[in-house]
Amino acid sequence: MKRLLQKTNRRCWFFGIAAGLYPMLYFFSRRPDILTSWDHYLFFVLAFILLPTGTFFILEKYIKFKTEVKKQRTISFVCVFYFLFFLQQIIFVQHHKKLIFGAIIVAILIGYFLYQHLAKIVLLQLFLAIITMPLLVETILIRSSYSNSWTTQNDTIEEVLFQKKPNVYFIEPDGYSNFSELKKPTYDIDISSFENFLQKRGFSNYPEFRSNYTSTLASNASFFSMKHHYFNNDLKSDEVQNARDIIMYDNPVLRIFKNNGYKNYFVSDSPYLLANRPKTLFDETNFKFWDLSYIDNGIRKNRKDVVSSFKEVFNKQDSEPRFFFIQFIKPWHISGKEGGSKGVDRERELWTERLFEANKILRQIIDEILAKDPQGLIVIMADHGGYVGYNYSDESRTKTSDPNLITTIFSSNLSIHWPDGIAPSFENELDSSVNIFRILFSYLSNNEAYLLHMEDDSSYILLRKGTEEGIYSYIDDSGNLVFKKLQL
């Protein structure tokens, strides 16, 4: 070890790699959903390896210390601080001033009192990186074996030709439960004012409509593909492989709109669906890649005004028909983790507040559309329910037979403004989100043959407690509550 650290260049590289390697590999193994672009890999190499290495080169070659002890203490401080700072970043995916201050204090103490054990500290950092390798290898093997064959359609719907081409507005308020669910004791929310607002503007509501999956990525990947993915039959992840790439680029829905001469627009209050910098078939998004973090998942406290962002794009003049995907994270769901939960009653109150905020946004967007495009096809569809009734949403991973706790997960609001106020004769097929676009394309093409290949309307969840771990159907194709394990 002493011989390894005798040369300055070798020592700087050794310290620099040790400071950032474990946090980097840990992030790689835990967040494969974000790490799908070469931009990300370059960023991590620059920030987690080359930055600390460069710092050590500066300390070794260009800074003159009065004594060797001060030099060793400074190098020890930097080595520990970088390590703790990187860990804080990847675990909490945002800056926490208290944690950064704590990292500084710990680094100062270790640097001052334990500087003589720097080699042992560095070896410990490298040891942590080594024991992370199996997780990283497992992640790489899963990703390398992934196939998107599940998105292949069973018919020729990708060749569909629209007979009518209204502008299509697909509005997704995150976690907005169906009106029928909001009337149940679990929610007990008077939503009549907003229901009347929609009714007066010619919207049809579809009670008992539901999502097929439990989260935004899983649900969106499914309905933009018009197929079930069954969580990729992967019990290790609660999400779907390459979900963002599927939602923003590799899906038949966007291709079909493109093939029929539409321009596609994505507007959101959050860059959540763009967090991995995916390719996109949208002609325009209201977030650019330089707006995005390389570490967090895009869900931020400070969000864009989705109404003004929509108006900015909407008021542009286009000769082509347009498809808008408008997404905003309200009312969302209750707290995700036990540590952040404020209890069933308070979580319900907070969710209700966000529900009325979501209604305000929807009113503004809808009035803007109908004032200038009264013949637009407007679809309001949530990605999943609000989880009200639970203490926290992850609690749903424990098996339950309570019908209210099951429906609160999947209940999803669906309201549609059909052009001329004339709904298709097959609107009764609107039961779950996986088939929403297949039904819309059947309507736009005047071709009901595409309805022959609809997906099962069952709703699925990944359960980890209270039963054998696995993927289960909680609601079957007919809307009945069931408990059936999916055979992988």
CB 376 within 8 A of CB 369: yes
Residue 3 has pLDDT above 60, yes or no: no
Of 124-138, 348-362, 460-474, minimum mean pLDDT range: 124-138
pLDDT at 369 over 90: yes
Mean pLDDT of 99-116: 80
State the pLDDT at residue 236.
76
For residue 147, CA distances in Å to 246, 277, 295 come to 12, 20, 26
Domain range summary for the chain, segments of one domain joined by +: 8-144, 154-455
pLDDT at 94: 58
Q: Which of 14, 125, 115, 117 is nearest to 65 (CA)?
A: 115
β partners of residue 470: 463
The pLDDT confidence band at residue 95, using thresholds 50, 70 and 90, is low
pLDDT digits (tens, 9 = 90+) for 378-396: 999 999 999 999 999 999 9
Cβ-in-10-Å burial (0-12, 13-18, 19+) of 435 comes to buried
Write out the H or E segment, with its range, that includes residue 217: helix 216-225
Is the pLDDT score of 6 beyond 60?
no
Using the predicted structure, report yes or no on whether residue 4 has a pLDDT greater than 80: no
Residues 309-321: tens digit of each pLDDT: 999 999 988 889 9
SS (H, E, C) 23-43: HHHHHHHHCCCCCCCHHHHHH
Structure token digits, residue 368? 């803007």
Rounded to whole angstroms, the Cα distance separating 288 from 285 reads 7
- Nearest-angstrom CA–CA distance, 93 and 89: 5
3-state secondary structure of 205: strand
Does 335 have pLDDT greater than 90? Answer: yes
pLDDT value at residue 108: 85
pLDDT, residue 39, reads 83
- Residue spans of alpha helices (H) in 226-316: 243-248, 252-259, 306-314
What's the pLDDT tens digit per position in 260-310? Answer: 999 999 999 999 999 888 999 999 999 987 788 887 777 777 799 999 999
Are 480 and 459 contacting, i.e. CB atoms less than 8 angstroms apart?
Answer: no
Q: What's residue 119's pLDDT?
A: 81
| 5 pLDDT tier (thresholds 50, 70, 90) | low
**Average pLDDT value for the chain:** 91
**Which among 252, 68, 61 is positioned nearest to 148, based on CA atoms?**
252
Per mean pLDDT, which range of 116-120, 260-264, 423-427 is the poorest?
116-120
Q: What is the pLDDT of residues 69-81, one digit of tens each?
A: 888 888 888 888 8
Task: Enter the CATH code of domain 154-455.
Answer: 3.40.720.10
pLDDT digits (tens, 9 = 90+) for 49-64: 999 999 988 888 878 8
How would residue 239 be classed by pLDDT, with cut points 50, 70 and 90? confident
What local confidence, expressed as pLDDT, does residue 442 receive?
98
C-alpha 323/C-alpha 258 separation (Å) is 9
